[in-house]
Structure 1
Amino acid sequence: MTSRHRRHRGIGAAGAAVALIWGCATAGYALPSDAAPDAFERAAERAAEEFGVPKDVLLGVSYESSWWEANDGRPSTKGGYGPMHLTDTTSGGTYAHRPGEGPVDATGTDDPSEHTLQAAAALIGVAPRVLQRDEAQNLRGGAALLASYQRQITRAAPIDPGGWYGAVAHYSQAADTATAGRFADGVFDAIRAGRQRVRKDGQSVSLPGAPSVRPARSQLASLGLRASAGAAVPECPAELRCRFAPAAASNYQVSSRNSNGMAVDFIVIHDLEGSYDGGVSWFKDPASGVSAHYVLKADGSEATQMVATKDIAFHGGNYWMNLHGIGIEMEGYAAEGPTWFTPAQYKATAALVRYLARRFDVPLDRKHIIGHDNILPPRPSRAPDAHWDPGPYWDWEKFMGLLGSAKSQERTGEEARTGGSVKAGQAVMIAPTYAKNPQPVTVCGSTCRTRTQPSNLLYVRSAPRGDAPLVSDLALRPDGSAGTDQIDDWGSSVVWGQEFVVADVSGDWTALWFGGKKGWIHNPAGVNTRPVPDARIVRPASGTKTVSVYTTAYPRADEYPQGLPASDQTRFSMYAFPQGQAYVAARTPVAADDFFPATPTRRETTVTGDQTYEVIQYNRRLATVNTAETAR
């Protein structure tokens, strides 16, 4: 991994002097364990007053940095702590950086953007470790940083929030004007329009709208940042700074999607289990044999496109899904809870997905906007090694809301308490509220550790009771033994946004048709599901005893031109789809097809069969079934 060095204005002694001039290095204050409903706002108000920062500015920066969350002192994927996202990427901090844990950017450079926690701690005279977990001190540290930046720009502390635009842009620690301006614009959009949110701990935080505020964007020029590069990559949204760095030629295939008939139907979200620079380097390495179309930085400041969208990247572990997918790799780790995905990361990823979905007419639902954990491997023998990123701590509800998906809108009132009616035969969407859905997840390396914290999943049990064994996935456990809560045991859980058909209801438990059997989820009054009245439900056709379950949709062998090898349409023989069961399918069936890239003696070739397949939500993964065997 190479170190990163950015030209950026440091805090230095002048900044420390500002803290003494504008605020007192008073003893800290922590939010008590039985904090009042407005404790966060009061702590923010005191910190803002102490350092001469408008409260609206402090709350706006905190909202843009963390959505006002403290995340229990855990670092983000960028190594940022607390509601002000103060960064510390120095190895050996509070959290040991074991494999699979963050922060991801532990480069140990002297880049100021990696050490704002230490800088803030010095300004307020508090140990850095305190700012990691003490929300009030974290707010004070962020306010002190803002004050020091403002002093460098104007030598004054204006009362008007608009006069703090330069300090806010500086707070982003961005190296270029476009990224710094994008962060500041996000903050001032929140200030002007207002924001209100209920935190994970139940506190309601409000930032009243102030539409009369006029941000002084001219201050951006005083920061001495590098000029933003032009639009070097046409396949990125305007709000995302992109570059193009091609993957190794052996790590992808040149194609001409969609004009060659290979439609892009899926946008696949991955995480790198490592750093941004490391991911880019890995895809450039011919020895890796893999690639993704895009790699995104954890702070949302940059994306690298590595494969043109017309071409086929090797990212999903299933070639047929790769033929029809675009892969996006995010900097970060799925394996542990100590890290959290930043607001900037959610927003940058959402901007890219919206852009791609518009270009390729991909529906904004969880049958088409999927994770790597939704892709079945091409054959059963590879099921135990199938990936499960972006993991249980990616908030799909929040992300789909940023995409504008109607099904992601938060429920209110009675609907939030009940979730809607649940009855056998109807389709429902899995919809636990992330912050109110703590689930135990065990991660095993040299030792096993179980964490219980907010997550996007629900466990599926073999009977309607909490002590019933988890269902068994026969592709993972041929002996039929019970599933576990281990993070890589994807066969016994469902994730937010997936849709299933209700098989039965018993008290607080709802049975789904899940992987060929009844699988029970805890769902009192339907609180963890939502009805899906417009779902496409498929069943075995009349006269079909059991529908064959596949993971690809290739033509028959006799449909391939002479000289082209037929791909194996492998059936998952351990999976069942018998009469009496039903599953939710994507909006339209897909044609059987395959692709062969051009060679010196052959033009690229698309092979299309006369069969069509439904793409169904079978278990945690998507599967394909032949429409000749199904009925709606």
Structure 2
Amino acid sequence: MPRTPAAVAAAASIALLLPLAGPASAAPAPLSDRQQAYDSAAAEFGVPAEVLLGVSYMESQWNTYGGTPSVAAGYGPMHLTDFATATASASAPSAEFDGEDARGDDSRPLPQHTVPAPAGVPAAALQTAQQAAQLAGTTTAAVRGDVRQNIRAGAALLASYQQQHSANTGDWYAAVAKYSGATDSRSAADFADEVFQTIRQGVTRTTDDGQLVTLRADASVKPNTAQLAGLHLTPTDSTGVECPRGLSCELDPAAYAQYGPTPDDYGNHDTSDRPASQKIDYIVIHDTEATWDTTLNLIQDPKYVSWNYTIRSQDGHIAQHVLAKDVAWHAANWYINTRSIGIEHEGFLAQSGWYTEAMYRASATLVRYLAAKYQIPLDRQHILGHDNVPGITPPFIPTQHTDPGPYWDWDHYFTLLGAPQPVPLPAPPFGMLTIHPDMATNNVPFTGCVTRGTPCPARGSSEVVLHSQPSDTSPLLTDLGLHPNGAPQTMDVNDVGSRVSEGQQYAIADRKGGWIAIWYLGQKGWFHAKDAVFAAGLVVTPKPGKASVPIYGRAYPEASAYPPGTTPQAIVPQPYTLDAGQSYVYGGLAPSQYLATVYDPTGTVNTKPVNGKTRYYEIQYGHRVEFVNADDVQLKPAL
């Protein structure tokens, strides 16, 4: 009797990891003057050092990001904001789904839609750099470009928010909450609570410019949360929202309306009955490619698309737009949409900006809640970036999106999710690996962040580039789906056809010296072994006698499964194959389903998916996941 996937999985330890390149001798951290800068600024402006460190950590993790602004126009470790300067040299951004069918169902394409102009003048809370500079007796240019002056100015601004001087750390709660810039009470409290939790727990890390900073734990600190009432902030209305208790969330329903004369002329999402109708298997991480205000305007357009949640960069505030029971149009793949929840993060994957710690933490708290509620595994096979979602058919592969991009810190994010990479254990080599670069030092020379062909600013990346030979000067791999005209891969920040990302897992194809190769898009992709760790698990290979098997971008049922009156959806292979002798990491069983939808303003139509007998497996084939017919392949431990 053949072994079931579960039985095979039980025989292989999924969590076992081993460094690929052997133990590296870690160089001692350079002596830090950053710690001295925090201590000096705290003493100068009368701010408890632990409060200043805690606020800065919650804004930037004490990083400098090379002097570039965050997506909320914040500069430096203290995230002092200067919207006018941050946007002066940036080209006008477009919204993520401008011109794209994010519904991802070629049986009913979306109408043409137009993205409105960005919402105009930012809130006053986004203009703190000038005020902080005046308080510290320095210039806004120095605040943006000089780390020590940035910390001084941040301390001065924080001190100005303290209504009554106190040496008691807990009495700085209201000042910390005000520093967040939040205008509603729950968002401000969330920020302050996270700061004080960090103070109680302590943290030590080396910053992106090599400075060792420590915030010593002090479990005795008790924040005076009653102070929040004195800020007179707008109460947060969380009525009807699906969020964990205590997280700042509001319900901002997406448009659902008929805009034309035919039954299909409606948007911008579909009513359903998940998870009773079908399981939710995925959470898809996006960035908005637009500001918060513009994004919230777009969700109200029935001719546009939709997503379940948006998270604000400045303070981590969350707006829910589509309930989990319904299907949002966000991933440009209808199969994934019907089985996923989409979360947009205010920001731009390349053009400018880094993601704040407040946003990372709010997002991780939300995803932990959703994953527990819907039993979604916390791994890169189920927590996908939009850049990991496959195009539905060959024509759609080149237009599939690439957010949240190479600067999203997946390693840190999964640590916040409570699912960090396990500590490497001594064991014999296994036949698969987990991508695991050091993001702080992994400065990949991407181009096109602002202008096509122009080098991007130097910054750490969560992605690793693959080569066709074990050499940094050898050509990149070829993605026939992304470049059907045969054009070579490039280092453009959006050209994902020859790169892998933190946490993704691949089958090992070869090793040579300090290099290792993985199976990727039917080719051997080489990279430095230091950027991965060994892993154990399951891989998929063609069944004996099959030279190759087709690969699909969606797991649709066979034609005979559709009831009368429902048009069977075509099962269209991708321009890729899984060839004999190659292996790809198994990402789980994917049921064959198709959800036919109708416009139902009453919410009374019981939409059930078409369920087929065909079984599919999800595999990590390239940068994106794909699907194979289970009857074409076999599962085996990666040895």
TM-score by length of 1: 0.86
Instruction: Work out whether residues 94 and 290 of structure 2, in 8 Å CA contact, stay in contact via their aligned partners in 1.
Output: no
| Aligned residue in 1 for 2:545 | 543
Please state if 1:132 is matched with 2:144. yes
Instruction: Work out whether residues 56 and 191 of structure 1, in 8 Å CA contact, stay in contact via their aligned partners in 2.
Output: yes
Please state if 1:209 is matched with 2:217. yes
Instruction: Work out whether residues 240 and 301 of structure 1, in 8 Å CA contact, stay in contact via their aligned partners in 2.
Output: no
| Aligned residue in 1 for 2:311 | 296
Residue type matched to 2:268 in 1? N
What displacement does 1:333 show? 0.2
CA distance in 2, matches of 1:356, 1:213: 31
CA distance in 1, matches of 2:273, 2:573: 29
1:253-292 map, 5 Å: 253-260=270-277, 262-288=278-304, 290-292=305-307
Q: 1:49 to 1:444 in 2, by over 3 A?
A: closer
* Equivalent in 360, 365, 381 of residue 379 of structure 2: 365
Q: 1:106 to 1:171 in 2, by over 3 A?
A: farther
Q: 1:127 to 1:106 in 2, by over 3 A?
A: farther
Please state if 1:621 is matched with 2:633. no
Bigger share in helix: 1
CA distance in 2, matches of 1:264, 1:343: 27
| Aligned residue in 2 for 1:228 | 236
Q: 1:317 to 1:57 in 2, by over 3 A?
A: same
Q: 1:132 to 1:95 in 2, by over 3 A?
A: farther
CA distance in 2, matches of 1:443, 1:406: 31
Q: Per the alignment, in what secondary structure is the counterpart of residue 348 of structure 2?
A: coil
Please state if 1:604 is matched with 2:616. no
1:82-481 map, 5 Å: 82-90=76-84, 92=85, 96-100=89-93, 107-109=120-122, 111-150=123-162, 153-154=163-164, 157-229=165-237, 231-249=238-256, 250-260=267-277, 262-288=278-304, 290-336=305-351, 338-407=352-421, 426-443=431-448, 447-451=452-456, 452-481=458-487
CA distance in 2, matches of 1:624, 1:566: 19
What displacement does 1:406 show? 3.8
What displacement does 1:602 show? 7.1
What displacement does 1:233 show? 2.8
| Aligned residue in 1 for 2:56 | 62
Q: Per the alignment, in what secondary structure is the counterpart of residue 547 of structure 1?
A: strand
Q: Which moved more, 1:217-226 or 1:345-354?
A: 217-226
CA distance in 1, matches of 2:30, 2:486: 50
Residue type matched to 2:584 in 1? Y
Residue type matched to 2:207 in 1? R
CA distance in 1, matches of 2:471, 2:500: 17
CA distance in 1, matches of 2:617, 2:142: 54
Instruction: Work out whether residues 597 and 603 of structure 1, in 8 Å CA contact, stay in contact via their aligned partners in 2.
Output: no
Q: Per the alignment, in what secondary structure is the counterpart of residue 214 of structure 1?
A: coil
What displacement does 1:148 show? 1.3
* Equivalent in 513, 531, 535 of residue 532 of structure 1: 535
Q: Which moved more, 1:211-220 or 1:74-83?
A: 211-220
CA distance in 2, matches of 1:490, 1:450: 16
Residue type matched to 1:353 in 2? V
CA distance in 1, matches of 2:568, 2:217: 61
CA distance in 2, matches of 1:162, 1:78: 28
| Aligned residue in 2 for 1:24 | none
Give deviations 1:538-562, integer Å, cap 9, x for gaps.
1111222211100111111122111
Q: 1:215 to 1:248 in 2, by over 3 A?
A: closer
Residue type matched to 2:565 in 1? G
What displacement does 1:329 show? 0.9
Q: 1:93 to 1:454 in 2, by over 3 A?
A: closer
Q: 1:440 to 1:422 in 2, by over 3 A?
A: farther
What displacement does 1:245 show? 2.2
Give deviations 1:257-280, integer Å, cap 9, x for gaps.
1111x2111100011100122112
Give deviations 1:40-83, integer Å, cap 9, x for gaps.
01111111111111111111111111111111111111111111
Instruction: Work out whether residues 181 and 314 of structure 2, in 8 Å CA contact, stay in contact via their aligned partners in 1.
Output: no
Please state if 1:47 is matched with 2:47. no
* Equivalent in 467, 492, 497 of residue 491 of structure 1: 497
| Aligned residue in 1 for 2:555 | 553
Q: 1:101 to 1:60 in 2, by over 3 A?
A: farther
TM-score by length of 2: 0.86
Structure 2: 5+ residue stretches without partners: 1-28, 96-116, 257-266
What displacement does 1:106 show? 8.4
Residue type matched to 2:443 in 1? P
Instruction: Work out whether residues 37 and 202 of structure 1, in 8 Å CA contact, stay in contact via their aligned partners in 2.
Output: no
What displacement does 1:248 show? 2.2
Q: 1:94 to 1:602 in 2, by over 3 A?
A: closer
Give the total of aligned pairs. Answer: 572
Residue type matched to 2:508 in 1? V
CA distance in 2, matches of 1:498, 1:57: 37
Instruction: Work out whether residues 441 and 486 of structure 1, in 8 Å CA contact, stay in contact via their aligned partners in 2.
Output: yes
Q: Which moved more, 1:446-455 or 1:120-129?
A: 446-455
Give deviations 1:272-331, integer Å, cap 9, x for gaps.
10012211221221222x110111111244222111111111111111111111111111
Residue type matched to 1:263 in 2? K
Instruction: Work out whether residues 548 and 625 of structure 1, in 8 Å CA contact, stay in contact via their aligned partners in 2.
Output: yes
Q: 1:314 to 1:233 in 2, by over 3 A?
A: same
Instruction: Work out whether residues 78 and 105 of structure 1, in 8 Å CA contact, stay in contact via their aligned partners in 2.
Output: no
Instruction: Work out whether residues 350 and 449 of structure 2, in 8 Å CA contact, stay in contact via their aligned partners in 1.
Output: no
| Aligned residue in 2 for 1:577 | 578
CA distance in 2, matches of 1:394, 1:48: 31
Give deviations 1:147-171, integer Å, cap 9, x for gaps.
2111xx22xx322222222221221
What displacement does 1:517 show? 1.4
CA distance in 2, matches of 1:467, 1:560: 51
CA distance in 2, matches of 1:422, 1:492: 28
CA distance in 1, matches of 2:362, 2:156: 28
Q: 1:602 to 1:133 in 2, by over 3 A?
A: closer
CA distance in 1, matches of 2:86, 2:597: 49
Q: 1:421 to 1:505 in 2, by over 3 A?
A: farther
CA distance in 2, matches of 1:136, 1:169: 23
CA distance in 1, matches of 2:475, 2:42: 52
Residue type matched to 1:298 in 2? S
Q: 1:94 to 1:551 in 2, by over 3 A?
A: closer
Q: 1:329 to 1:251 in 2, by over 3 A?
A: same
Residue type matched to 2:185 in 1? T
